[in-house]
Amino acid sequence: MEPTSLRREHDNPAVRVEQVSMRFGGGEHENRVLENLNLSVEAGEFVSIVGPSGVGKTTLLRIFSGLIQPTAGHVYVEEEMIRQPHPSVGVVFQDYSRSLLPWMTTIENVAFPLEGRFDKKKRLALAEEALASVGLGGQGKKYPWEMSGGMQQRVAIARGIAYEAKIMLMDEPFASVDAQTRFSLEDLVADLQKRLGLTIILVTHDIDEALYLSDRVVVLAGKPASVVTVLDTDFGDHRDQAATKADPRFGQARTQILELLGHH
Ligand SMILES: Nc1ncnc2c1ncn2[C@@H]1O[C@H](COP(=O)(O)OP(=O)(O)OP(=O)(O)O)[C@@H](O)[C@H]1O
């Protein structure tokens, strides 16, 4: 576990932000959230962002998505500067119940963002394939509200896959499910990432989850926030919930992050 430099040179960045600052409000109500932040994520890489509550993790993810514009700095997707959402980027939020439309069946929900891109037959075929990839093949006729929380979150992930998003931004996607389901969703996402060669940026408050899933863990801190450390994980490609978390290097990395965040 070696701390790496804050600005690492990348060969093939999928997404990156350059000198990004973000302020909300003005005058005496000004809230400076992010300042001069640089972060580059390589194609096929899994990067997690951790930091104290309110530090600006979600704000940074929304800037990466193009949903909001930074006050200063630039955002690039596949080396193209963006000012709005980019078709290669999918977003999965914690609150799956708000992202799935209750009056549509599961398969219709997954196929919905493909409207205008493909005819109906192709849309449904892609949606079925995506559902199968998250272990929900043949279940497309159910409505979201007939499914458990974990299943609904798998549907939300399938929607990004059907859309052929190569870059997935995930904001606390497993926070609303029980611990057991959380572990299986983590393993599902790790597997999909490898199989489909996805680039993933995950915001989480769970340091074990960040270490378990990521190639690098980015620690945000300060007010306004900046990247205080980037940790490379070296637990190998084949991770296992029990064995990886029992690895002494895992414990050392966890302690290092907790100390950085002021939890001694
Ligand atoms: N649309 C907005 N308008 C005004 N202020 C905002 C807006 N979005 C975020 N903020 C402010 O930006 C700061 C960072 O919020 P953000 O949600 O990004 O933090 P976070 O690290 O994701 O927090 P948590 O871990 O609690 O989810 C907070 O002070 C928040 O009040």
Tens-digit pLDDT profile for residues 144-200: 999 998 899 899 889 888 888 899 999 998 887 888 888 988 998 999 899 889 999
Ranges 4-8, 24-28, 70-74: which has the least confidence = 4-8
Q: Tell me what the mean pLDDT of segment 208-216 comes to.
A: 96
Residue 171 is predicted with a pLDDT of 92
Ligand 1 contact via 145 beta carbon (within 6 Å): no
For residue 183, the CA-to-ligand 1 centroid distance in Å is: 27
pLDDT value, residue 163: 83
Residue 42 has pLDDT above 60, yes or no: yes
Q: List, edge to edge, every strand of the sheet that includes 80-81.
A: 31-42, 13-24, 72-77, 80-81
CA distance 53 to 83: 27
> Considering only CA atoms, which residue is closest to atom 3 of ligand 1?
24
Q: What is the mean pLDDT of residues 34-46?
A: 96
For residue 56, the CA-to-ligand 1 centroid distance in Å is 5
- Is the model's pLDDT at 252 over the cut of 60? yes
**In this structure, which residue's CA is closest to atom 17 in ligand 1?**
58
What is the ipTM score, two decimals? 0.97
Structure tokens at 42: 């390589």
The pair of structure tokens assigned to 109 is 């929900």
Q: Rounded CA gap, 62 and 67, in Å? A: 6
Give the C-alpha distances (Å, rounded to integers) separating 73 from 13, 45, 69, 187, 215: 17, 23, 9, 35, 25
Provide the whole-model pTM. 0.90
> What was the pLDDT predicted at 164?
81
User: What's the mean per-residue pLDDT of the chain?
Assistant: 90
Q: Is the CB of 54 under 6 A from ligand 1?
A: yes
- How does residue 97 score in pLDDT terms, banded at 50, 70 and 90? low
What pLDDT shows up at residue 4?
46
CB contact at 8 A, 199 and 44: yes
Closest residue CA from atom 16 of ligand 1: 56
* Per-residue model confidence as pLDDT tens digits over 224-247: 999 999 999 988 878 899 999 999
196 C-alpha vs ligand 1 centroid, how far in Å? 31
- Hey, whose CA ends up nearest to atom 18 of ligand 1? 56
Strand, helix or coil for residue 89: strand
Is 3 a residue whose pLDDT tops 70? no
pLDDT recorded at residue 12: 84
Residue 263: predicted pLDDT: 67
Whether 157 contacts 93, CB under 8 Å: no
Provide long-range contacts, Cβ within 8 A and 24+ apart, for 114-119: 114/162, 114/163
Q: What is the mean pLDDT of residues 249-260?
A: 93
